[in-house]
Amino acid sequence: MIVTEQAYKDGQIILIDKPLEWTSFQVVNKIRWLIRKTYEIKKIKVGHAGTLDPLATGLLLLCTGKFTKRIEEFQGQTKEYTGTITLGATTPSYDLETEIDHTFPTDHITEERIHQTTAQFIGEIQQYPPVFSALKKDGKRLYEYARKGEEVTIPSRAITINSFEITRIQLPEVDFKVVCGKGTYIRSLADDFGKALDCGAYLSALRRTKIGDFDVTTALTVIDFETQLPIKKDLA
């Protein structure tokens, strides 16, 4: 179905399967540019309902026009993620954005212990956001402090983990599926999981699969979105 210019202004929800290494901001900019170019309009509001890190893929929910007022509503919905946690090492960013800084033995790790350890992360828990994140403190992004090697105190906050399921164990890799509430950092969950196992850990792969009732299986790639836009008559 072809969406009209007015429909984008009135408000549309666009589901995009974010590619690896793209920032959420880059996706928003690309989709906004494509809509403006196709319909030859100067301005169109486009925003996303929840950031995905560059090293993550999966569901990015975009709102256009008047629907940008609903972004906070969508941000509060439950999210589902799948991914891989690598045991036996840590990184400053809790993922592969930074190099490994410490390694630890994993001889004491058993499959039973891995499964049992997930239980302590179910429900409402306190979590410290990663210092390599876009959260602000005193007007600066946390990653700005981190990249300069400056120490900064970050308060913990309450988040909710609805479920934490281990789907594959092939040490040092552990695959998982997590359903969680707003504000949860899966990178922090990976780091905390490693601490609980006394072996260190970092997030080595992440994919967001659901936001509320929206599923990544119905999302478009950026290329697919561009392809389904109407071709201007003067270019046909």
Say if residue 138's pLDDT is above 70: no
CB 24 within 8 A of CB 51: yes
Residue 169, SS3 per DSSP: strand
Q: Are residues 44 and 57 in the same domain?
A: yes
pLDDT tens for 53-93 read 999 999 999 999 999 999 999 999 999 999 999 999 999 99
Q: Which of 53, 95, 191, 192 is catalytic?
A: 53
What is the rounded average pLDDT for all residues in the chain?
A: 91
Q: Are residues 48 and 125 in the same domain?
A: no
Tell me, what CATH number does 56's domain have? 3.30.70
Q: Are residues 196 and 225 in the same domain?
A: no
pLDDT tens for 205-223 read 999 999 999 999 999 999 9
Q: Are residues 50 and 86 in the same domain?
A: no
Say if residue 196's pLDDT is above 80: yes
The pLDDT of residue 18 is 98
- Percent of the chain past pLDDT 90, that is, above it, reads 81
Burial 160-172 (b: 16+ CB within 10 A, else e): bbeebeeeebeeb
CB 214 within 8 A of CB 15: yes
CB 224 within 8 A of CB 16: no
88 vs 85: CA distance, rounded Å = 10
pLDDT average, residue stretch 134-161: 72
Q: Can you name the residues that pair with 87 across neighbouring β-strands?
A: 201
Q: The domain containing residue 141 runs over which residues?
A: 79-211
The DSSP H or E segment spanning 66 is none
**Which residues are CB-contacts of 39 (< 8 A; sequence separation ≥ 6)?**
5, 8
Q: Are residues 152 and 172 in the same domain?
A: yes
The pLDDT of residue 165 is 98
The pLDDT of residue 146 is 57
Q: Are residues 162 and 150 in the same domain?
A: yes
Q: Are residues 116 and 71 in the same domain?
A: no
The pLDDT of residue 236 is 39
Is-catalytic flag, 53?
Answer: yes
pLDDT tens for 5-17 read 899 999 999 999 9
pLDDT tens for 162-177 read 999 999 999 999 999 9
Length of the chain in terms of residues written: 236
Q: Are residues 120 and 21 in the same domain?
A: no
pLDDT band at residue 1 under the 50/70/90 scheme:
low
The pLDDT of residue 213 is 96
